[in-house]
Amino acid sequence: MKAIAPQHREIILASSSSTRKALLDRLGLDYRCIAPDIDESPKGEQHADALALRLAYEKAQHIAQAYPEAIVIGSDQVAWRTQTPQIFLGKPLTVDRAIAQLSDNAGQWLNFSTGLSVQCLARQFAQSVVAHYRVQLRDLSRAEIERYVAQEQPLHCAGSFKCEGLGISLFAQMQGNDQTTLMGLPLIELCTLLRQLGLQLP
């Protein structure tokens, strides 16, 4: 059977996230999105890195098993506060929880562990990494928080903000090597893994 060239393998983003889709669009690749159906709740992980890595791997694995010839990209992000034990910051899902989350974290440093897994079962390829980013929120007033949440509705975002939008106005500082890590799909790391599979980027 003739081998499939890397540039002609189907690429699948294991996600329904519009933000991750917009990030992957930057690379100019042909791909499609399939949302994996997995349980995203913690399973005893004590560190955000372990949780983000497992979820990214499981998302990619779930789709790769159904499409073994494809190159599958999975990613997941966990926000957390530097405490012992770590406090994981999930998606608020409601306006009240988003306001509460931003109020609790105003003036604080927040850490983001973004897991990335690229898999192609036909090539026996499965590589996973965790990338990191940090932001410090300003001392925010209740009015600022309520205006922000009302305008941007960051209800499905860990940390209750979208840094690629109005959320940037909430920050005092940002620290990291790749801002796309904070946005949920670390493109520098992704390009490295895709090159290992033989894709030409650019």
Instruction: Provide the token pair at 34.
Output: 């399939």
Residues 6+ apart with CB under 8 A from 89: 78, 79, 80, 81, 101, 105, 110, 158, 159, 160
For residue 136, report the phi and psi dihedrals to the nearest 5 degrees: -110, 125
Handedness of CA 158, 164, 170, 172 (dihedral sign): positive
Handedness of CA 102, 132, 21, 46 (dihedral sign): negative
> Are 8 and 29 contacting, i.e. CB atoms less than 8 angstroms apart?
no
> Tokens 């109020």 appear where?
103
* Residue in this structure with the two tokens 């098993």, named with its chain if needed: 65
Catalytic hit among 76, 96, 104, 178: 76
To the query of whether residue 76 is one of the catalytic residues in this protein, the response is yes
> Could you list the active site residues?
76
